[in-house]
């Protein structure tokens, strides 16, 4: 017996339940439709993530970052040149390499680093910056950038925004410090590299003592070209001065007895040797080989330049080098342009074994 003396029949109960289900279906279907519409409106376009809104705080314009990277390399180079020409290097040891060689530090390294780091950090405060030298957090030097972009970059590079959290900047404030102390100025460079999700996309290599700057952006443009040809019968292999003996024997076994070994200082200089560089003190080479551990700020800019021009820089066993995580590359490297890079790697099985030493 129902309350108030009302008796419900089975048929009435069934109708009541159906009406209730109808009301719930109407309400819930409207909610689902709204959620589906919201999902469709916010879903990124097929083929990749939706870029952040232009001008947002979380976005970085790679064209602007290229412009300030060029400026940073030049400003750092001014410090490097000033210190060397004033002969006030204040040279000291900062440690030893894995091979036991003494690593040197000069005022040129520190002052260049200070200028480059603060300029990049002020222009793009939300971007991670990795530098070879320590940055004193108490040093609050203010370095401003007027956000002007050189006409050459404007003409060749279109604006392109990426999420700030995907960007890592690598600074080498003075490449070839050993040669710098020996006054072998042609080898010295300052370098900036921009990696997006670990891939090098912007490379800047500046030679302070000749005021020459090479820059490139992957899928963008560059102010330098690759050399158009090489001599297969007498290939020229450029290597570190300190490792020339280690590489020479294996290189001749691999490429032939007519192989020319070019000992040189600085990773930046060695990459420029693979390119068409109008520099009287710049040697030319076909392949760059490094057989031991090397830091990423030494090679990132050169890697980006080669990628932009269709070349390659990989570990000795052919793996791409990621510019995230640790600051060192354990697998050695081989770099080339306008050559069959895979075939080169297949010729170098013995060198890869020495790269972790």
> Is 97 one of the annotated active-site residues of the chain?
no
Q: How far apart are CA 190 and CA 177, in angstroms?
A: 11
174 labelled as ligand-binding? yes
CB 292 within 8 A of CB 243: yes
Which residue of the set 106, 168, 177, 259 is catalytic? 177
What is the rounded radius of gyration, in angstroms, for the C-alpha atoms of the chain?
Answer: 29
- Name residue 206's beta-bridge partners: 190, 213
**H-helix segments, the chain:** 10-42, 62-86, 107-123, 151-156, 177-181, 244-255, 267-272, 296-308, 341-346, 349-354
Cα Dmax for the chain: 112
Instruction: Give the pair of three-digit tokens for residue 117.
Output: 């780091």
Q: How far apart are CA 90 and CA 73, in angstroms?
A: 22
Q: How far apart are CA 78 and CA 55, in angstroms?
A: 32
> Is 276 one of the annotated active-site residues of the chain?
no
In degrees and rounded to multiples of 5, residue 77 shows phi and psi of -60, -30
Instruction: Give the pair of three-digit tokens for residue 319.
Output: 């793996």
- Name residue 289's beta-bridge partners: 334
172 labelled as ligand-binding? yes
Q: Classify 321 as helix, strand or coil.
A: coil
3-state secondary structure 241-291: HHHHHHHHHHHHHHHCCCCEEEEECCHHHHHHCCEECCCCCCCCCCEEEEC
Closest CA to 202 of 214, 189, 213, 215: 215
350 labelled as ligand-binding? no
Helix and strand totals (H; E) in the chain: 10, 19
Which residue of the set 106, 109, 254, 292 is catalytic? 109
* Residues in binding site for Mg(2+): 132, 172, 174-175, 298
* Residues in binding site: 132, 172, 174-175, 298
Q: Which residues are catalytic?
A: 109, 177
């Amino acid at each position: 017996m129902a309350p108030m003396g009302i008796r419900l029949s089975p048929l009435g109960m069934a109708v009541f339940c159906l009406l209730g289900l109808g009301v719930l279906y109407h309400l819930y279907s409207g909610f689902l439709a709204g959620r589906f519409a919201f999902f469709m409106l916010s879903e990124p376009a097929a083929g990749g993530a939706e870029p952040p809104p232009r001008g947002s705080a979380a976005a970085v314009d790679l064209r602007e970052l290229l412009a300030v990277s060029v400026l940073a390399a030049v400003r750092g180079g001014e410090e490097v040149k000033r210190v060397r020409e004033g002969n006030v290097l204040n040279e000291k040891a900062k440690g030893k390499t894995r091979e036991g060689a003494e690593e040197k530090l000069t005022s040129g390294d520190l002052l260049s680093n200070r200028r480059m780091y603060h300029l990049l950090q002020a222009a793009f405060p939300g971007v991670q910056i990795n530098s070879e030298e320590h940055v004193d957090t108490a040093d609050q030097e203010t370095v401003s950038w007027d956000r002007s972009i050189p006409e050459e970059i404007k003409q060749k590079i279109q604006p392109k925004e990426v999420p700030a959290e995907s960007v890592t900047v690598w600074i080498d404030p003075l490449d070839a410090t050993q040669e710098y102390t020996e006054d072998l100025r042609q080898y010295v460079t300052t370098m900036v590299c921009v990696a997006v999700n670990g891939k090098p996309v912007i490379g800047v290599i500046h030679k302070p003592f000749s005021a020459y700057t090479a820059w490139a952006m992957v899928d963008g443009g560059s102010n330098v070209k690759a050399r158009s040809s090489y001599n297969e019968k007498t290939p020229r292999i450029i290597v570190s001065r300190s490792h020339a003996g280690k590489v020479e024997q294996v290189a001749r076994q691999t490429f032939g007895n007519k192989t020319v070994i070019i000992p040189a200082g600085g990773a930046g200089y060695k990459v420029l040797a693979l390119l068409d560089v109008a520099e009287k003190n710049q040697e030319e080479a076909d392949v760059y080989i490094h057989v031991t551990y090397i830091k990423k700020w030494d090679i990132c800019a050169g890697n980006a330049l080669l990628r932009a021009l269709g070349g390659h820089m990989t570990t000795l066993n052919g793996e791409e080098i990621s510019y995230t995580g640790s600051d060192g590359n354990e697998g050695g490297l081989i770099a080339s342009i306008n050559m069959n890079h895979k075939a080169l790697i297949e010729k170098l099985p013995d060198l890869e074994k020495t790269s972790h030493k």
